[in-house]
Amino acid sequence: MSGRLVHVGSAVVDYVYRIDALPAPGTEKTATSYARVAGGGFNMMVAASRTGMKVAFGGQLGTGPDGDFLRAAFAAEGIETLTPPSPLMDSGNCVAMISGDAERTFVSWPGAESMLTPDMMAPVQALPGDWVFTSGYTLSYPGSRDALTNWIEALPADVPFVFDPTPVIAEIPRPILDRVLARTTWLSCNTDEAAEIAGAGDAQTVAIRLLAEHCPKADGVVIRAGAHGCLVRLADGGTRAIPGFAVHAVDTNGAGDTHIGAFVSALSRDLSPCEAARYANAAAALSVTRHGGSSAPTDTEIQEFLSHRDQATIAHDWEEATAT
């Protein structure tokens, strides 16, 4: 495998409460469980790391208990931190409420990850063979968007840049969003985010507009559709729907992050985009069967999962053939 994943997004501490359903306004619920875990961009980095990619974090961690907690989590996963702790504040956090239907609701508080300056970004250098990633969260913060956008635009032309606009896409000023999209090599977004950028329409139509009108330098776009899988549209005009996998979901928190991390890791190993998307679908499917946002599987687990699915398909095809 060549190069690293250099993640210049945001990492926060998640305070996760499991509840049967969200409380009505003015009422109270008692959680069935509680956990304090590393979250945000950490989930994407874990997915790439556990599937064999070397990962380095070029965002900002804070000084304080949450920053210390994140640094320990990074070290446990073998993720290198490229920048010193911010002297300004602690890292941010997010309250995540996971309801009985596996859906999640968030309330976040920005911290050190929301403040970036050119001096803070100076230690972060993309090397030949690296892949660079950022998310819309860091671009939504007024204190980080300008420095990060300038840094992205200055990347060497041969360094692939992967972008996930995230659900906060509406909070990113359009001029900033346009500049980042113009440098994007691979865009990965869900259906709502794709429509926010390129307008409403079926997934294929929106994907075509994304490439033609917003991501002129991109190799392709991936539009994720949860359990239904994803659609891959390539710059050369090829389009393919990659079906998802039926599993029993218990926690969808971090599934999109897992998908992107596994997709980038697979591309870095020279899998084709469609093969990488199927690999990512499997990674995301496995992740939602486990509790916690950083529940990404290993490469061995993904390969075993895909092997069983392939064997089931072969058996089904054989049964149909012998029945006729």
* Tokens found for residue 239: 């389009």
- Here the CATH number for the domain that contains residue 8 is 3.40.1190.20
pLDDT, one tens digit per residue, over 185-199 is: 999 999 999 999 999
Q: CA torsion sign, 125 to 185 to 111 to 140? A: positive
Percent of the chain with pLDDT over 90: 85
For residue 98, pLDDT beyond 90: no
How confident is the model over 254-275, as a mean pLDDT? 96
Residue 309: give the domain boundaries. 4-22+31-323
| CA–CA gap between residue 40 and residue 62 (Å, rounded) | 14
Distances from the Cα of 79 to the Cα of 93, 191, 293, angstroms: 20, 30, 17
For the chain, give the mean pLDDT.
92
In this structure, what are the phi and psi dihedrals at residue 157, rounded to the nearest 5 degrees?
Answer: -60, -25
- Residue 200: predicted pLDDT: 94
- Residue 6: predicted pLDDT: 98
Confidence of residue 321 (pLDDT cuts 50, 70, 90): very low
- Residue 312: predicted pLDDT: 54
Longest dimension (CA), the chain: 71
Q: Smallest Cα–Cα separation from 40: which of 21, 54, 59? A: 59
- Residue 317: predicted pLDDT: 37
Q: Smallest Cα–Cα separation from 38: which of 232, 294, 285? A: 294
- Residue 104: predicted pLDDT: 80
pLDDT, one tens digit per residue, over 108-129 is: 999 999 999 999 999 999 999 9
Confidence of residue 311 (pLDDT cuts 50, 70, 90): low
- Residue 251: predicted pLDDT: 82
Confidence of residue 238 (pLDDT cuts 50, 70, 90): very high
8 Å CB contact between 123 and 59: no
8 Å CB contact between 104 and 97: yes
List the beta strands (DSSP E) in the chain. Answer: 4-7, 11-18, 33-40, 54-57, 80-81, 93-98, 104-109, 131-135, 161-164, 186-190, 220-224, 229-234, 239-243
Total domain count for the chain? 1
Q: DSSP letter at 114?
A: G
| CA–CA gap between residue 275 and residue 315 (Å, rounded) | 21
DSSP-derived pairing of the beta strands 229-234 and 131-135:
unpaired
- Residue 1: predicted pLDDT: 42
| CA–CA gap between residue 42 and residue 14 (Å, rounded) | 10
For residue 177, pLDDT beyond 60: yes
